[in-house]
Each structure stands twice: as C-alpha cells, then as structure tokens.
Amino acid sequence: MITADEFMAEAGRRGFDFYTGVPCSYLTPLINGVLSNRALTYVGAASEGEAVAIAAGAYLAGRKTVVMCQNSGLGNAVNPLTSLNAPFRIPTLFITTWRGRPGEPDEPQHEVMGRITQDLIGLMEIEQAPFPNEAAALAPAIDAAVRHMDSASLPFAFVMKKGDVQDGGLDQSPLSRPAAGRREDFATGGERPARAAVLTRFLELTDDRTAVIATTGKCGRELFTLADRDQHLYQVGSMGGASGMALGLALNTERPVVVLDGDGAALMKLGTFATVGAYAPKNLLHILLDNGVHDSTGGQATVSASVDFAAIALACGYGYAASCDSLEGFTAAFRAAASATRPALIHMRMAPGSIDKLGRPTVTPAEVAARFKAFVAGAPVRSPEAVA
C-alpha cells in the first residue's frame, strides 16, 4: 500500500500535473489527495469518455495528464481511447480500478467487467500494468509508463486493486455557483443557411489567434475544405468529445478557444455542458451548429428540434447564450459573445446538407494534432494554481 502523496510526488517529478476522471471508492484516496493538492489541477468529469476528451485537450495545451475511473465505466472510455487518442497519438496515464476482481466479493454489476478488464484494455491495444502499490515500485513503474507514452504517443494504463492506496483526508475547495447568465435571441424564423455558409462566415469573423476544434463528421470536413489552418483541429472520431477537448484546452491556455459542435454530438455528451459551466473557462466560445439531423450518416433526424440548447447552457452556468438561424443573426451573436461573460454559447439552427462531393482532410490526425499543439504553444500556458 502507498499513500496518495507518494504517487503524486513521483508522478509530479515526471511532469504529471493535470488530473481528470470519475470517482470510484477504490480511487477515493488518490482523487482526494489530488483535490487536496493545490499544486495540481483536477477536473471532475460527467462521464469517463468526457474525462478522456478533457485530458486530450489539456495535452494539446502542453500538460501531462492522468485520467482516473472505475472499470465499470471503462466502456464509456472505449470510444475516445480508440478513436481520439489512437489516431491523434495523444498519450495519457490512464488509471482504472479493478472492481469485480475474480475471487474478491463485490456487487453483481461488476462481475463481467471484473473478468474482462485487462482483456478489454488489451483489445484497445493499450499497454498496461498493475498499479504500483509499494513505494519502491512507484518510480520504476511510472518510468516504464512514461517511456511507452513517449515512444508510442499512446496511453498507458495502470489497473488498481482495492487497498492499493492508503485512505487519506479531503480538503477540496468548493466550486462556486456562477451568476445568472444573459440570453439573447437573434432568430428570425426565415430560411436557414447551410453549414458551409455558416462556416464561411465564421472564418470571416474569427482571428488567427483562436484555437478551433471542429466536431466529428461533416463539420470538420467542410472546415478543412474551406480553409485548412494550423489553428484548426478536425476531430474525426470520438463523437461528442469536442466540447470536452475544448474545455481541457481552454483551461490551460490564454488563447481564445472555439468549439464547433453539432446537435447530435452535443446530445451524446450533454453532461459536458455542466462541466463547462462549472469550471467556466473565460476564453471558451461554444458554437453549436444544429441542422436537426445526423448529416454524415444519411440525414436521420436528431431530437434537437425540441431542445433549447441556450437555456441548457445558461442553466449549467454559461455566462452568455444566444439563439440564431440566419447569417446576420450569427454575426450579431458572434460579436455579442466577444464581449460577453464566458463561457458563451451560440446555438445556430441551420439547414441540413453539405458541400457536394465533400472530401476528407488530407492531413493525418497525428499531423493535425502535432501542428495544433505547436500552434497553441505560441501563447502563454496557465499555471496549475490558476485553474485549480
């Protein structure tokens, strides 16, 4: 058994200072230790997949990250680990617990995952090792994990058993409830523009300092077709994870950050709205491009027609939210958001459809991530104390 302080010290010597995850009773001592350490950052995620996306954004801002979760939630992390971290070559130190360990009494819902935890990690082609539960084993184990992450640019997993970390206290600074946000409505009810027209207008309005994360599907493909820039990251997988990535990025850079989200993607990870509102990065603009359909898969309707995303954003703690459905309304909302309290949301309702014979990015995801990370590095990085 080790203490949380021992783990944090060894991990800290190797640069790990950004933690995110979803709690588990086995993780309690470690999470509480991180929360009590003012030199570290911990972002509590709404889901395990969201935590992986948040860590990916923090990595792109230059942080070394740790993701922690219970193995019963490992399934929620499979999608971003395989379709975000793998293609974009984004490493993270991934700590999952081993509930349902064969031969150890546990609740019935952990039985299957307890049998397959290591197999599932292996099937994701992620290197793994038992969590180092002796002080003498800590440095060699973390060094081995770092060597793998540095050489492969991929995650490395530790599997933690019950009692690996000694119980400790919690000294957590509570998150403050933000003041009520402001809403504006620029909707006209007229004919809605296509996404390509909205993206063209966005490119006219944004500047060359802003980091832009475009959600998976035709949004990123159209943005690449219209203008391929180092400041753009085209998220080709991990549907729903773009806003989490943007949060992790925004918390760790002074640059303005914009996430171009979609209605289907936002609905898939709606909990991220609450996380964004709670941690309230002052440099994040969330643009939700809502055409009411899953455009990349044949135009099947989403349920967004009955969803008021601006109201959800304000209820979750965003400082500003606007609704619009025309290019003129989008322009007005964008300019209003520039001086509004952040995080801010622009909910843009638009027409289905995309550019004819739309291609795909010709730059590989790994190349996109590398140049995007280099672009972000051109701005000051916030200290851990500033975001703790």
Is residue 42 within a helix (H) or strand (E), and if so which, with residue range?
A: strand 41-44
φ, ψ at 195 (rounded to 5°):
-60, -40
CATH number of the 4-160 domain? 3.40.50.970
Domain segments of the chain as ranges: 4-160, 182-376
Neighbours of 317 (CB within 10 A): 22
Counting Cβ atoms within 10 Å, is residue 341 exposed (0-12), middle (13-18) or buried (19+)? middle
Q: What is the CATH number of domain 182-376?
A: 3.40.50.970
Q: For residues 154 and 127, what is the distance between their CA atoms, to the nearest angstrom?
A: 9
In whole angstroms, what separates CA 101 from the centre of its chain?
Answer: 29
Pairing between β-strand 127-130 and β-strand 64-69 as defined by DSSP bridges: unpaired
- pLDDT 10s per residue in the chain (388 long)? 999 999 999 999 999 999 999 999 999 999 999 999 999 999 999 999 999 999 999 999 999 999 999 999 999 999 999 999 999 999 999 999 999 999 999 999 999 999 999 999 999 999 999 999 999 999 999 999 999 999 999 999 999 999 999 988 888 877 777 788 999 999 999 999 999 999 999 999 999 999 999 999 999 999 999 999 999 999 998 999 999 999 999 999 999 999 999 999 999 999 999 999 999 999 999 999 999 988 878 888 899 999 999 999 999 999 999 999 999 999 999 999 999 999 999 999 999 988 888 888 899 999 999 999 999 998 544 444 443 3
Q: Do domains 4-160 and 182-376 have the same CATH topology?
A: yes
Written as six digits, the tokens of 363 are: 């730059």
Q: 54 by DSSP, 3-state: which?
A: helix
- Measured between alpha carbons, how far is 301 from 87 in angstroms, rounded to an integer? 29
Token code pair at residue 20? 């995110």
**What is this structure's pTM?**
0.94
Cα 354–358–363 angle (5° rounding)?
125
Tokens 């291609």 sit on residue: 359
374 burial via Cβ count (<10 Å: 0-12, 13-18, 19+): exposed
Question: What phi, psi does 361 have (nearest 5°)?
Answer: -55, 135
Of the candidates 161, 173, 174, 171, which has an alpha carbon nearest to the alpha carbon of residue 25? 161
Site of tokens 């491009």: 289
Tell me if the bond preceding 343 is cis, omega within 30° of 0.
yes
Beta bridge partners of 96: 69, 159
Per-state percent for the chain, helix, strand, coil, to nearest 5: 45, 20, 40
Cβ-contact 384, 41 below 8 angstroms: yes
